[in-house]
Chains A and B, each alone.
Chain A
Amino acid sequence: MTQQATTWRRCRPAILGTLLFVMMTGCNEEPRIAQYEVPREAETRDFRRLGAIILFQDKVWFFKLDGPQKSLADEKDRFDKFVQSIQFSDKSAEPSWKLPEGWRQEPGDGKFRFATIRLGPPEQGMELTVIPLPRDSEDWLLKNVNRWRDQIGLAPIRESELAATTKKAKIDGKEATLVDLLGRKPRSKMPPMGQVARAEPRARPQAAAEGGPKPSYELPPGWRPLRPKVSPFVRQLLSFEVGEGDKIAKITATPAGGDLLSNVNRWRRDDLGLPETTETAMRRELTKLKVAGVEAFYVDLHSPQAATRILGVIVPLREDRGPQQSLFFKMIGPADLVSEQKRNFDGFIRSFRFGDDGK
């Protein structure tokens, strides 16, 4: 009897261990379909955007009225009447309209913004802007509706959903797309000074998954670093902006493929609305310079009314610096601001180093 008890005492850990082992083998849970209810978060959609998008000749005219939903509700009828009153002059290729009572028109900036119209008390921040942009792509309508949606925190829609989420109307005989969106007040997208760092996403789109040495440069005064844009088509290396309010110039450095001519023509066509140029004509306008020890090309382009100016530097890339053929530096913005900043841009280009071998 005593011996049996001793044996049990001796063997107890082993038996318990085995039991635990056997128990664990039965622990795997079968996945199954589950059902539950969660209270819905009350969405705060209190910011309204009324808009009209009208294509006239080669430009798309954007009439956009933003404001708090409550205040804008009273202005909706007046906005509709305002839109109905828009007329385009074939001569000047510009629109004109009848201003509703109480609305105050301010002149445009002569650059991007054609006109600004303020309504209601200033603290409500209701503002109607009129901006013409070149029709830059086939999907211009969807792209711009989605751009507006994104600005006020709404998910993008598919082309097939355009008809259900927007209205078509005839304004001065032209086809117009009317938009009425309810979302959240746009947040300033600009990060605070000196605080630029990339959020490390859980996973990145394929084209963005690249590493590499970090370039160095001297940041000119007043230039604010921005988060470089990364998409499957564009992977900016650097991005900055300079200027205040509506007068902003953007500076980017983007590695890209394609030959010199096609890229210069892309800037001329897409950014400035200029006709494409030829190889010989382009070569005449190019100046040569050295960037980080590499022979590069400098272009200086103006839009037809000289409102917008582009300073561009194209640096051919060595094969080991990536699959792209060239690094494109570009400063684009209101012509007077770009002229002011030209010295800074040139200094920035001179100070640029790839960071891989000190050059």
Chain B
Amino acid sequence: MQETAIPAGPPSSVMTPSPTPQPRRREEPLMFRLLKPIASLRLTVWLFALSILLVFFGTLAQVDAGIWTVVNHYFRSWGLIWVPFQIFVPRDLPVGGGFPFPGGWLLGGLLLVNLLAAHAVRFRISLKRSGILLIHSGLIVMMLGELFTGLWAVESRMTLAINEKANFIENSRANELAIIDRSDKKEKVIVIPDAILRNQKLIQSAELPFDIAIDEYYVNSALVGVKPEGRDMPDVMPGSDLHYYKVAHRSEETGVDSNARDDIPVARVTFKRKGTEEKIASLTLSPWFYPNTISRQIRFAEQNVSVDGKTYVLEFRPQRIYKPYTIQLLEFKHEVFEGTKTPKNFQSRIRLIDAAQKQDREVQIYMNNPLRYDGETFYQSSFLQDDSGTVLQVVRNPGLLIPGWLLPYISCAMVVIGLLIHFGVVLVNFLQKRLAV
């Protein structure tokens, strides 16, 4: 085997076309190389384009679906969502199928990662760049704010008649079936979240005194009147207004309906002896029969089921969130402009009692003067028939370090200041150059 000799001396011109040696390229760290594609501006543009499309699809979907269904399905979704073709064509032209599309939180999350990566890879901290940095930070705060709101914000209500006390608020967007045993000094309550009623056919649990078969479940329903002749029908309930009612299912309230209200579900339920097929009772349950749903305008007969000598009261009601404090309504004022029916002021004088925090004080709640307590904000929202009580809207919007409700304000302020700085710097630079010329 002949060895090839490498000639010594200066390299020949044939082998090296360039006589000057090229400077050695600095090797980028692995993380940097990984982040570079993620930080791509092209990706940003794509993500923005997809977000615009998603907003468009979500808007079209509200022709058939309620606003909260759309918000949860299209926007507050981590994975791929299914967009039906039907939303693009008139509804009397049935079209099947659809296509997958990234959900709102997925797109928002990717945009966030893209932005952070861009900062790690491209941007340098300098006075010139401080405006951009502030604008981007503002956008990040805005995206996180929406995320926190979606994950943790709860909107509830507290309904109180004059002198009534309550230590719970009622979630406006979630219901529960409460099975209440009032045979003792304490109420023993078992609650089944609405989501279980909606998704399960048979509910069996060690906590339950019976098995519950969900025969039918509808997301939305209407309370309809029944003529007196129909009062003996099994699902008909007498109301305190001396009329008879039943609950009939109806399609979901849509986002385009200007009169849309919250969806109120209805479930036809059969109670069975534990582990058997033996039927105990069959009932139609709906939050319509819960007095606060209709601002206590009509009250309905109690629904209950008896098993093994014990009677359990059934309440399909807004999800209750118990609080370590109690609120009592002392007075409700409903003032009108003299000689008219135009409301001037709605005001609730309440007593806040929190033994653990040694609080026992009176608070006035009226427009632009909510009560903020223990992370919750109580706003004057509505009132009961004949001014016999008040309805307070209770909003909880927690953030990580700062309250969630502040985040949109902070983010907007950051973006505005960022824009001012950025364009200010550009203007100063421009003027300096002009002067130099």
9 closest cross-chain pairs (CB), A and B: A232-B225, A201-B295, A31-B193, A7-B29, A31-B195, A17-B116, A150-B240, A156-B238, A203-B261
Q: Provide the residues of chain A in CB contact with B116, threshold 8 Å.
A: 13-14, 16-18
Residue of A nearest to B244 (CB): A139
- Pick from A14, A21, A187: contact of B109, CB under 8 Å: A21
State whether A158 and B301 are in contact (beta carbons under 8 Å apart), knowing that A40-B185, A146-B240, A205-B223 are contacts in the complex. Answer: yes
Query: CA of A24 to CA of B77 in the docked complex: distance in angstroms?
Result: 11
Query: CA of A231 to CA of B298 in the docked complex: distance in angstroms?
Result: 9
Residue B377, interface by CB 8 Å: no
Query: 5 new A-B pairs (CB below 8 Å) besides A13-B119, A150-B299?
Result: A33-B208, A150-B240, A156-B240, A191-B386, A194-B338
- Pick from A21, A146, A195, A207: contact of B242, CB under 8 Å: A146
Residue B302, interface by CB 8 Å: yes
Interface residues on A, range: 35 or more
Q: Provide the residues of chain A in CB contact with B134, threshold 8 Å.
A: none
Nearest CB of chain B from residue A226's CB, rounded to whole Å: 9
> What is the interface of chain B, defined by CB distance below 8 A to chain A?
29, 31-32, 35, 38, 78, 105, 109, 112-113, 116-117, 119-121, 147, 151, 157, 165, 182, 185-196, 203, 205, 207-208, 222-225, 228-229, 231-232, 237-243, 245, 259, 261-262, 264, 288, 292-295, 297-302, 322, 334-336, 338-339, 341, 343, 382-388, 391
Q: Provide the residues of chain A in CB contact with B31, threshold 8 Å.
A: 7-8, 10-11
Contact A201 B297 (CB under 8 A): yes
Query: CA of A3 to CA of B242 in the docked complex: distance in angstroms?
Result: 82
Interface centre among A27, A39, A201 (most CB of B within 10 A): A201
Nearest CB of chain B from residue A330's CB, rounded to whole Å: 19
Contact B245 A232 (CB under 8 A): yes
Q: Provide the residues of chain A in CB contact with B388, threshold 8 Å.
A: 187
Contact A233 B225 (CB under 8 A): yes
Nearest CB of chain B from residue A159's CB, rounded to whole Å: 6
> What is the interface of chain A, defined by CB distance below 8 A to chain B?
3-4, 7-8, 10-14, 16-18, 21, 24-25, 27, 31-41, 137-139, 142-143, 146-147, 149-150, 155-161, 187, 189-192, 194-197, 199-207, 209, 211, 227, 229-233
Query: CA of A167 to CA of B129 in the docked complex: distance in angstroms?
Result: 86
Residue of B nearest to A200 (CB): B382
Residue of A nearest to B227 (CB): A233
Query: CA of A7 to CA of B112 in the docked complex: distance in angstroms?
Result: 20
Contact B334 A27 (CB under 8 A): no
Query: CA of A3 to CA of B240 in the docked complex: distance in angstroms?
Result: 78
Q: Provide the residues of chain A in CB contact with B165, threshold 8 Å.
A: 41
- Pick from B117, B191, B245, B384: contact of A34, CB under 8 Å: B191
Residue of A nearest to B346 (CB): A197
Residue of A nearest to B291 (CB): A155
State whether A232 and B228 are in contact (beta carbons under 8 Å apart), knowing that A155-B302, A227-B385 are contacts in the complex. Answer: no
Q: Provide the residues of chain A in CB contact with B119, threshold 8 Å.
A: 13-14
State whether A17 and B207 are in contact (beta carbons under 8 Å apart), knowing that A203-B294, A231-B225 are contacts in the complex. Answer: no
Residue of A nearest to B189 (CB): A36
Q: Provide the residues of chain A in CB contact with B29, threshold 8 Å.
A: 3-4, 7
Residue of A nearest to B195 (CB): A31
Q: Provide the residues of chain B in CB contact with A229, threshold 8 Å.
A: 241
Q: Provide the residues of chain A in CB contact with B192, threshold 8 Å.
A: 33
Nearest CB of chain A from residue B24's CB, rounded to whole Å: 15
**24 pairs across A/B with beta carbons < 8 Å?**
A7-B32, A10-B120, A31-B193, A32-B193, A32-B196, A33-B191, A33-B193, A35-B188, A37-B186, A38-B322, A138-B229, A139-B231, A156-B240, A156-B301, A158-B231, A159-B231, A191-B387, A195-B335, A202-B262, A202-B293, A202-B294, A211-B259, A231-B225, A233-B243
Contact B300 A232 (CB under 8 A): no
Interface centre among B225, B302, B336, B388 (most CB of A within 10 A): B225
Q: Provide the residues of chain B in CB contact with A160, threshold 8 Å.
A: 232
Query: CA of A189 to CA of B193 in the docked complex: distance in angstroms?
Result: 37
Interface centre among B189, B301, B338 (most CB of A within 10 A): B301
- Pick from A37, A149, A205: contact of B187, CB under 8 Å: A37
Nearest CB of chain A from residue B155's CB, rounded to whole Å: 12
Q: Provide the residues of chain A in CB contact with B147, threshold 8 Å.
A: 24
Q: Provide the residues of chain A in CB contact with B300, threshold 8 Å.
A: 155-156
